């Protein structure tokens, strides 16, 4: 509660979340351009906005917005036009529960994790709508591939998060961070560790793999598969709607990394930082962790080719899901018997 009035608070919070989301997404776009360029032995954006090319994402956004807005003649106009907004809205909603510090959170829901997973799966719906309504065989194939992939990788994502919830004992994201901050007594010593180091390493790896698949990034970008299907389910989109998808993808990248950082790496908390300072330093700590995870995603993108659809499904159903189920069993056993 910043001011006492509910509606003023609401508007302020919405604006703040939007600013954070779009700001971080633009930084992620710029990072992708530069980091991938250096990995490929070139420079990347160089001219837009001075020597570092920092204005490139803004230039790209402006360029897209001023393009002609095309709706294909055979397309189902209502669904075609609304698909991007559903994707963006779902991604926006996930930012609502991410805590940047114990008090800097738009809404600290008790069912934070549950809400997060439920609403982020709405993006699947948006993608399917885009693919189906485009009246284009390539888009259809891309949309169906995307649907199958996103559904398959939801399951390992959810199951690893369940393991974390079991270990933390709460579904609220702030609560999960505090569970990691709580010290464990090991004889005379008392240390506090993030969940990654408290037996969740397998869960973390599975979560990251599933997150990259949920984001349709290389090596899981069959739905977009530039060199095969032109642009998959995005082929017929132009101008503002394409910008929505584009920004939405990078915003989702940030949000997934933020969730991973909160669940496994300790979120806005770091050891040796006193409680009082956390309110101010917390956001920076979280952003630093997000940056590390986003860098890993970019690194993976530059290095590996894409998996074929059946190999992708094979990985999800035959490997990730059984292992994540075993992970839950292990964590549950650990929690009950040991802790």
Residues that bind other proteins (CB under 8 A): 36, 39-42, 137, 141, 218-219, 221-222, 225-228, 230, 301-311
Cα 134 to chain centroid, rounded: 26
Shortest Cβ 1–other proteins spacing (Å): 48
Q: Which is nearer to other proteins, 69 or 226 (CB)?
A: 226
Per-residue burial over 67-85, b = 16 or more CB atoms within 10 Å of its CB, e = otherwise: eeeebbeebeeebbebbbe
Closest approach, Cβ 221 to other proteins, in A, equals: 7
Nearer to other proteins, 181 or 229 (CB): 229
With vertex at residue 133, the alpha carbon angle to CA 64 and CA 153, rounded to the nearest 5 degrees, is 85
Element (H, E) at 133: helix 122-133
Task: Specify the residue, 21 or 214, whose C-beta has the smaller distance to other proteins.
Answer: 214
Nearer to other proteins, 34 or 301 (CB): 301
Closer residue to other proteins in complex, CB, 63/308: 308
- DSSP designation for 186: E
Per-position b or e across 22-49, b if 16+ CB within 10 A of its CB? eebbbbbbbbbbbbebeeeeeebbeeee
Rounded CA-CA distance 309/302 in Å is: 20
Q: d(Cα 332, Cα 257) in Å, to the nearest integer?
A: 25
Q: How far is the CB of 219 from other proteins (least distance, A)?
A: 6
Question: Are the beta carbons of 25 and 254 closer than 8 angstroms?
Answer: yes
* Least distance in angstroms from the C-beta of 42 to other proteins: 6
| Least distance to other proteins, CB of residue 140, Å | 9
Q: Could you check whether the bond before residue 219 is cis, i.e. omega within 30 degrees of 0?
A: yes
Choice between 241 and 301, CB closer to other proteins: 301
Cβ at position 25, least distance to other proteins in Å:
21
Q: Closer CB to other proteins, residue 316 or residue 331? A: 316
Q: Pull the structure tokens for residue 37.
A: 């360029």
Shortest distance, position 154 Cβ to other proteins, whole Å = 21
CA distances to 15, 191, 207, 286 from 265, rounded to whole Å, are 28, 15, 12, 9
């Amino acid at each position: 509660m910043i001011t006492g009035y509910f509606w003023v608070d609401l508007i302020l919070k919405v604006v703040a979340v939007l600013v954070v989301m779009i700001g971080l997404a633009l930084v992620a776009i710029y990072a992708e351009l530069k980091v991938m360029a250096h990995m490929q032995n070139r420079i990347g954006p160089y001219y837009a906005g001075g020597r570092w090319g920092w204005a490139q994402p803004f230039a790209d956004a402006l360029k897209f917005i001023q393009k002609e807005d095309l709706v294909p003649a055979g397309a189902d106009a209502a669904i075609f036009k609304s698909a991007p907004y559903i994707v963006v809205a779902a991604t926006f909603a996930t930012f609502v529960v991410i805590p940047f510090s114990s008090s800097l959170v738009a809404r600290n829901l008790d069912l934070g994790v549950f809400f997060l997973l439920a609403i982020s799966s709405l993006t699947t719906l948006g993608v399917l709508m885009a693919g189906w309504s485009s009246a284009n065989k390539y888009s259809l194939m891309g949309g169906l591939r995307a649907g199958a992939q996103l559904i398959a990788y939801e399951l390992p994502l959810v199951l690893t998060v369940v393991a974390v919830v079991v270990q933390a004992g709460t579904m609220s994201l702030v609560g999960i961070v505090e569970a990691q901050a709580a010290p464990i007594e090991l004889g005379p010593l008392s240390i506090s560790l993030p969940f990654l180091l408290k037996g969740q390493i397998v869960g973390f790896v599975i979560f990251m793999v599933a997150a990259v698949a949920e984001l349709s990034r290389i090596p899981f970008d069959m739905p977009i598969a530039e060199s095969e299907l032109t642009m998959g389910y995005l082929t017929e989109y132009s101008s503002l709607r394409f910008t929505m998808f584009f920004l939405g993808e990078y915003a989702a990248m940030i949000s997934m990394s933020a969730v991973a950082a909160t669940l496994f790496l300790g979120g806005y908390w770091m050891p040796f930082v006193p409680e009082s300072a956390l309110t101010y330093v917390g956001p920076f700590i979280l952003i630093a962790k997000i940056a590390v995870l986003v860098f890993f995603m970019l690194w993976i993108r530059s290095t590996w080719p894409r998996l074929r659809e059946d190999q992708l499904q094979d990985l999800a159903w035959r490997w990730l899901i059984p292992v994540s189920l075993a992970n839950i069993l292990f964590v549950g056993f650990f929690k009950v018997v040991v802790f």
